[in-house]
Amino acid sequence: MAYHLLADAVLVLHLLFILFVVLGGLLVLRWHWLAVIHLPAAIWGALIELTGWDCPLTEVEIGFRQHAGEAGYSAGFIEHYLMPVIYPHGLTREIQFILASIVIGTNLAIYGWLIYQRRRA
- Average pLDDT of the chain, as a whole number: 85
Q: Examine the pLDDT at 5 and tell me if it is beyond 80.
A: yes
Summarize pLDDT for 9-19 with one digit per residue, the tens.
998 898 899 89
Q: Which residues contact 109 (CB under 8 A, 6 or more apart)?
A: none
List the alpha helices (DSSP H) in the chain. 2-30, 35-51, 56-67, 77-86, 93-120
Measured between alpha carbons, how far is 4 from 63 in angstroms, rounded to an integer?
10
At residue 58, the pLDDT reads 83
Summarize pLDDT for 66-89 with one digit per residue, the tens.
898 876 554 454 565 666 877 777
Q: Examine the pLDDT at 90 and tell me if it is beyond 50.
A: yes
What sign does the dihedral 62-67-73-79 (CA atoms) show? negative
Measured between alpha carbons, how far is 29 from 8 in angstroms, rounded to an integer?
31
Measured between alpha carbons, how far is 121 from 114 in angstroms, rounded to an integer?
11
Q: What is the pTM of this model?
A: 0.80
- The H or E element containing residue 105 is helix 93-120
Q: Examine the pLDDT at 6 and tell me if it is beyond 60.
A: yes
Domain boundaries, the chain: 2-120
Cβ contact 21:103 at 8 Å: yes
